Structure 1
Amino acid sequence: MASEKSLAAEIEAALTARVKVIRIRGQRVRFIEDIPALAAEIAALQGRAFEDGARGSVRWEPKGQGCEMAYSGDLMVGMVVERDDGAGGREWAYSVDAVHTKRITKGHGGTKSLRAAKAAVERAWTAWLVHAGRAALAPNTTEGRTDRG
């Protein structure tokens, strides 16, 4: 279960718990006890914060006419925009911008429908999470299956 404290507050509490005060020649000296254990505790806190933010569905938010942004937690992972297809029609361009997807999956392109463009962003984000060893964080999408655009 996630803590109600911010990540910064949890790190400060972990650090404060390890600060010790001793007297050397009448002077109070502070030092951090067991730095390797503290580093491991901070890394675990940071990992949990990432997982709490990335878990769950990709959330779509409109950002003006013909544009929607995809969020995983508070991280903007991609976007879709409506544009002219060059042949007098319309298409939906998509891109995954939060991470580098080259050699992992296709992170940009165009489709004929908004639904297919959103699905492409969600597939690319999921592929990156799996590649990064974060498969358990892969989003549960509500868009359903769509054609590969």
Structure 2
Amino acid sequence: MKTLHLADEAATQALGRQLAASLRLGDAICLTGPLGAGKSTLARALIRALTSPDEEVPSPTFTLVQFYETPAFPLAHFDLYRLTDPDEAYEIGLDEALDGGVALIEWPQRLEGRLPPNRLDIDIALDGGARRAVLTAHGSFEGRPLEF
């Protein structure tokens, strides 16, 4: 477990870019935190680091998932906020996204414990005017050197 203090939006974006460089096929990044904590900011920075700086990255709140092609692997960005049943995530392609690429998952608590085994959990909390991110590695992320 590692705790990072993110002073501003730029620090949150920098974390997203740094995480992008560490991803491998089959990985999942799971982002939790209250509305407005910076989950989407981190996700956009990570996606743009893997695609292009001007990539259009809409929030998948209403579509539930957005797909991106990167030079290394396909990336699926899930926003599970509106899910009513964990099975819905698998119906819209979570398993397939992990089998052939990488998944970035906002609101993973909607999976009710059915989380991918190879994942990095990032819990973002508002801490005064800044943010605090707690990173917890699972599966293939354990022992992986992550530079921040």
- Which TM-score bucket, shorter chain as reference? under 0.3
TM-score (normalizing by structure 2):
0.26
Structure with more of its chain in helix, by fraction: 1
Q: Which has the larger radius of gyration?
A: 1
TM-score (ref. length: structure 1) = 0.26
